Amino acid sequence: MRRLFSALKKSLSSTNPVAAPERTASFENLEERRLMSLTVGSLLADNRGQVFVNLTSTSGTINKSTINKTSVILYSAGADKIYGNTDDVRLAENVVFNTNVNRIIVTTKVAPSVAYRIRLVASRIQTQTGVKLDGEFHGTFPTGNGTEGGDFNALTKVDKSITPTIRMTTTLGSLAIKLRGDKAPNSTNYFMTKSNQGFFDNVMFNKSTTGTGAVLESGIIKVGSDNKFFVTPPVDRNPETTGLAGSTATIAFSREPVNPAVEGNGFVFNMANNTNANRVFGSVTSGFNVLQAINALTAIDLAPEHQFSLANTATVPVNNSSVDHSTYVPFTNSIFIKRTAVQMRIVPISSATKVG
């Protein structure tokens, strides 16, 4: 580099007026090419058909109009069950680009736990100065081979491990929960089944306690955009003895207030080291700060305007500290779970691949 620079200096001071600018230009272009890139920085996909693609640009603003259904494409395997050939079927999808964080959000509907293919068309996805996506994917992020161009091609794979990760999106942010199928197989299976059914979508956080025994509960009361809400019927499941401690940032099924011998759909996050051991079936591996933020909100007792059939379910955290039980508007003021789904594994796909 030093030699190149001194050669450049030499040429700049050269008496030849034509040679000097030429050399300067070629030196600058070399530097530019190395620094300017648009890559996929990370990607998250879930088993209900939602994908987050985080783009990284060192080439300035990404051209939002280049991100649409023709540049971001999801496929199913088609009749032959092989991904990556002409038999693949494009999935109906919704593509949104969040310019604040350079994130593409793709949503489609897939049967839970069916793999799907993700393709980003490099020739279309560009920055405002026309730098194209450097998208080649070999299993690690960021993508690319250092030269712009090259489609991103990946396959989602169902996490068949005994400790899958749930991604939970709330109105205040997202978190990841590792389920402990090794210690709590029944509870893990039940939570995954309910997640796959979308049962926890629009379920509010309904109990918020701090200090000794602090928990944040959810899973029981559904809230609708019509501002009505209802307590889901109890299911009376036999508790599982998991042997896992109720330490901070773990998740445990609640016992039903009307019959503490059984469990239902209610679950709590332990916000402190608690004594509810043996009900724990997983732990929060990222985003615990989201739960702490929810638990720090003002919680209001909804009774008596809103009657609940279950005791201890009415202390609801709200997003506005001036709201009280008489001015509370369920969909507007509640903090709720928007979605739970199982995170998929992401693998490169370069040629036709059969997924079992």
Give the interface with Ca ion as residue ranges (CB under 5 A): 134, 136, 144-145, 147, 149-150
User: How far apart are CB 173 and Ca ion at their closest, in Å?
Assistant: 33
* Residue with Cβ nearer Ca ion (146 or 260): 146
* Residue with Cβ nearer Ca ion (150 or 181): 150
User: How far apart are CB 73 and Ca ion at their closest, in Å?
Assistant: 18
* Residue with Cβ nearer Ca ion (99 or 147): 147
Question: Coil, strand or helix: which one is 272?
Answer: coil
Nearest partner of 168 among 336, 346, 344, judged by Cα = 336
Supply the DSSP string of 71-89, one letter for each residue: TEEEEE-TTTTEETSTT-E
User: How far apart are CB 153 and Ca ion at their closest, in Å?
Assistant: 12
Instruction: Give the residue closest to Ca ion by C-beta.
Output: 150
User: How far apart are CB 37 and Ca ion at their closest, in Å?
Assistant: 9
User: How far apart are CB 151 and Ca ion at their closest, in Å?
Assistant: 9
Question: Coil, strand or helix: which one is 333?
Answer: helix
Note whether 194 and 265 are within 8 A (CB).
yes
* Residue with Cβ nearer Ca ion (117 or 132): 132
Bridge partner list, 337: 170, 203
Would you state the structure tokens that stand for residue 219, as one six-digit string?
């899973």
User: How far apart are CB 200 and Ca ion at their closest, in Å?
Assistant: 40
* Residue with Cβ nearer Ca ion (6 or 147): 147
* Residue with Cβ nearer Ca ion (39 or 274): 39
Rounded to the nearest 5°, which phi and psi values hold at 41? -85, -35
* Residue with Cβ nearer Ca ion (134 or 217): 134
User: Residues near 23 by Cβ (< 8 Å), separated by ≥ 6?
Assistant: 7, 8, 11, 12
User: How far apart are CB 87 and Ca ion at their closest, in Å?
Assistant: 27
Note whether 125 and 118 are within 8 A (CB).
no
User: How far apart are CB 172 and Ca ion at their closest, in Å?
Assistant: 38
* Residue with Cβ nearer Ca ion (84 or 144): 144
Amino acid symbol at 18: V
The rounded distance, in Å, linking the Cα atoms of 266 and 200 is 10
- Residue 290, number of CB atoms within 10 A of its CB: 19
Would you state the structure tokens that stand for residue 341, as one six-digit string?
């789904």
The rounded distance, in Å, linking the Cα atoms of 356 and 345 is 14
Amino acid symbol at 283: S
User: How far apart are CB 88 and Ca ion at their closest, in Å?
Assistant: 22
The rounded distance, in Å, linking the Cα atoms of 148 and 38 is 7
Phi-psi region of 57 (alpha: psi -120 to 50; beta: other; left: phi over 0): beta
* Residue with Cβ nearer Ca ion (144 or 282): 144
User: Residues near 54 by Cβ (< 8 Å), separated by ≥ 6?
Assistant: 40, 41, 42, 43, 101, 102, 103
| The pairing of beta strand 250-256 with beta strand 280-286 | antiparallel
